[in-house]
Structures are given as C-alpha cells and as structure tokens.
C-alpha cells in the first residue's frame, strides 16, 4: 500500500500545502483514488464517512488544472448548501496553502443568481454547486461547459437516486465526451454502481474494505414513550454536557419547534431549517463550529455530508429510516481517529429496528437508561435500589 503523498506523484507545492493542514499521510481512499484520477480514469469510490474522500478527488483536480488559463475546468456537484460551501472552503484553503492560485466559486439554489453570474465572470477554475442551479447557468451560457475536464458527484448515492439522477445527467450531457467523471460516497449499493457505470467509460470501482461503521464510535439507545422523547433528550444533554452534539430528526418541518423547546430549558442550541436563508444556516453552523452553541438540530437532508470537527455525540431523536442513513448520521462523530458516541431515543416498537441495525452493520447498540441524572446499563437501577433496600 502506498502510504506517503510524495509517492503519489503530487506536486511538492500540494504536499507542502497539505502539511500546513497537518496532513502528512494519505488515507486508503486517497492512496487508491489519486493515481487513477491523475490518469484521467473514471472512478466510483466508496469509503466510510470521515475517511478523506474530498481530498481524494480535489488533489488530482488541483494537479491537473492549468491555472494560467482563465477558464472553468472542473465541476463538483453536491446535494446540500452546507456541503457545497464546505468543499469550496477546502478548495480555497488548499489553494492558499499550496500557493496554487486555483480559484473556485459556490453555486447553490435559492442564492442570488445575479451575484453568482458576476462571480462567474471571473472564470473560476472550479465550480462547486447543486445540479439544478449549475444546469440553469450552463443554459444561460454563464458556465462554459465545453471547457470542463472533470465532473465530481459527491454523495453519489444521494445524487444518483431517482429524485436527482435526471438533473445530474443533464449537466453531464452539456460537457465534452472525453471529460472525466468521478463519484464518491460513504455508501454505494450495486444499483448506484450500475447507474454510475452507465454514465462512465470503463469505470474503476474502489471499495475500501473496512468496518462499515467507524469502530471508534460507541452506540447506545434509550427507550421512551413518543411524547417523552424531548424530555429524555433534555435529560441526556444535561447529563453528558456535550461539547458538540448533532440531534437528528426525520421531519424537517419539526426543526424549529424542537429547537425552541430545547432552548427554553437554557440549552445552547440552534437548528438548520430546510427553508432557512443561506445566512441563517451559515450563522448556525458557524456558532456550532466555534462552540458558542453545543447542540445542532438537523434533518438528514440538512446535515448530509457535513464535516464539522470534534463532534462528540450524535443523538437520534427520530430513528433513521434505514441502516444506510444510520451510517451517514453517526459518521459525523468519531472522525480523524477520535472517539464518538451515537445515541438513539426509541419507542418500544422501534427496538426491532435497533436489532436490525445491529445485525446489518455488525455493531452492538447497548440498552441504557437514566438514573438519578446518570447514564447506566438498563435494569441496573433496579439492582441498585434492591441493594439499598
């Protein structure tokens, strides 16, 4: 296994830029993907959340871009505003640290299109955006698709599903046939691989064989009546005093209500609302990153792909609908070798789903309960009370 960046034929400037971020050794997905990407191969890459997939495609893009040309050379498509901004931030950081003079601009829906058009007049080398708005600007001839050499589809399992595939195909069709296409995600099933292959030329499939779920994460669940879930959530937060916790819900419309109920009890919390403005979402994430708030409440849609450092706890107020979403949620914690905790608050009826996740993901989710403000193994409270009596 190649285990040093200087063995991957990356430029010395890029390697020095990575060192400034404290990155000295490539992850498995980077070691396997970068050489193939530099050869202009079409790639389907899967590895767990937090394994460095963004740099796995950004580094070869940086290496191949001709920064002397003022033209758009790569498009990166992502499913959420936050992920678009996160990728764009990493591009700007890498460009600054490596002195690469590679430029980028984020293009997202609901944002001011006139401002985006002004930014595009500067001909950034990399466009990071949502497929709908990117396609709209291609049709307006504001993005010059014929100069695009590489397209990346981040969170590919989401963007290649039945709700998004049409828009992705439309963007790809506007580019030249010899362009490179790369798809990355933490979870890619056989159906998604088949769809991706149908868009590619001789695709190289990279699957990093490791535990499906990060082994640095411990898992537990608490049983509660549906009406008592928020009360249990409050007690948990008071007990664990998390540095940074993300609370997941299934219904985006409930975010504001739950956030207000939590804040009423003097818990520093904010929600990422699906219909919130870009500024409101950016403010909430900024305060969470700086630990001005300790609890972020979000749906899967709002939080997909978020890379926030030092998230200590993931709490499922609503149980995820399937094991794939469980992986994506818990992958927000335990990143870069650190430990994390995933907590689910479930009804008795939902415990069958817990057992299913355990079997499917080969993990142990331990039953816990609250006792006198502390978290203990389920039924231990009865033993303790019996000893007292």
Largest CA distance in the chain: 80
DSSP string across 331-366: TTSS-TT--EEEEEEE-GGGHHHHHHHHHHHT--EE
Phi/psi of residue 307, nearest 5 degrees: -120, 95
Contacts 24+ apart (CB under 8 A), 234-238: 234/262, 234/265, 234/267, 235/370, 235/373, 236/315, 236/343, 236/345, 236/370, 236/375, 237/262, 237/267, 237/294, 237/295, 238/267, 238/373
Predicted local confidence at residue 168, as pLDDT: 97
- How far, in Å, CA of 7 to CA of 328, rounded? 31
Residue 87, burial from CB neighbour count under 10 angstroms (0-12, 13-18, 19+): buried
Residue 303 is predicted with a pLDDT of 63
Question: Shortest CA distance to 62 belongs to which of 105, 88, 94, 31?
Answer: 94
What are 7-15's contacts with CB under 8 Å, separation 24+?
8/34, 8/35, 8/38, 8/59, 9/35, 9/38, 10/34, 10/59, 10/63, 11/63, 11/98, 13/98, 13/99, 13/100, 14/59, 14/62, 14/63, 14/94, 14/98, 14/100
Q: Are 78 and 91 in contact (CB under 8 A)?
A: no
Q: Residue 146's pLDDT is what?
A: 95
pLDDT, residue 194, reads 96
Low-confidence ranges of the chain (pLDDT < 70): 1-3, 210-212, 274-276, 302-305, 336, 380-389
Alpha-carbon gap, residue 168 to 362, rounded angstroms: 33
The answer to whether 281 and 275 are in contact (CB under 8 A) is: no
Per-residue pLDDT at 48 = 80
Smallest CA-to-CA distance from 113 within 102, 124, 129 is with 129
Q: Which pTM value belongs to this model?
A: 0.74
Instruction: Give φ, ψ of 12 to 5 degrees.
Output: -60, -35
Instruction: Name the CA dihedral angle for 13, 16, 17, 23, rounded to a multiple of 10 degrees.
Output: 140
The structure tokens listed for 351 are 């415990």
DSSP state letter for 84 = H
């Amino acid at each position: 296994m190649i285990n040093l960046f200087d063995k991957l034929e990356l430029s010395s400037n890029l390697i020095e830029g990575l060192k400034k971020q404290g990155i000295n050794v490539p992850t498995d997905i980077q070691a396997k993907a970068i050489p193939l990407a530099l050869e202009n191969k079409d790639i389907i890459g899967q590895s767990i959340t937090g394994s460095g997939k963004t740099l796995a495609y950004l580094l070869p893009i940086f290496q191949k871009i001709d920064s002397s040309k003022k033209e758009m050379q790569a498009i990166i498509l992502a499913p959420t505003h936050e992920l678009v901004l996160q990728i764009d931030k990493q591009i700007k950081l890498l460009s600054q640290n490596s002195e690469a003079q590679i430029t980028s601009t984020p293009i997202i829906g609901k944002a001011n299109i006139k401002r985006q058009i002004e930014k595009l007049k500067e001909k950034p080398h990399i466009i990071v955006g949502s497929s709908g708005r990117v396609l709209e600007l291609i049709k307006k001839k504001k993005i010059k698709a014929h100069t695009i050499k590489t397209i990346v589809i981040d969170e590919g399992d989401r963007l290649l599903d039945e709700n998004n595939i049409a828009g992705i195909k439309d963007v790809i069709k506007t580019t030249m046939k010899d362009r490179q296409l790369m798809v990355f995600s933490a979870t890619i099933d056989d159906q998604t691989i088949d769809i991706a292959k149908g868009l590619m030329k001789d695709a190289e499939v990279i699957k990093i064989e490791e535990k499906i779920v990060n082994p640095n994460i411990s898992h537990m669940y608490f049983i509660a009546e549906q009406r008592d879930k928020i009360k249990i959530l409050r007690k948990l937060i008071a007990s664990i005093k998390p540095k940074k916790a993300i609370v997941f819900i299934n219904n985006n419309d409930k975010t504001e209500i739950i956030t207000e109920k939590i804040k009423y009890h003097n818990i520093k919390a904010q929600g990422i609302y699906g219909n919130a403005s870009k500024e409101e979402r950016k403010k909430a994430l900024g305060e969470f990153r700086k630990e001005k708030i300790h609890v972020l409440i979000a749906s899967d849609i709002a939080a997909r792909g978020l890379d926030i450092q030092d998230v200590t706890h993931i709490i499922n107020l609503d149980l995820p609908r399937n094991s794939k979403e469980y992986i994506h949620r818990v992958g927000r914690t335990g990143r870069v070798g650190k430990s994390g905790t995933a907590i689910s608050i479930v009804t008795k009826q939902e415990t069958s789903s817990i057992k299913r996740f355990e079997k499917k993901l080969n993990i142990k989710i331990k039953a816990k309960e609250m006792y006198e403000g502390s978290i203990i193994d389920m039924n231990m409270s009865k033993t303790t009370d019996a000893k007292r009596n």
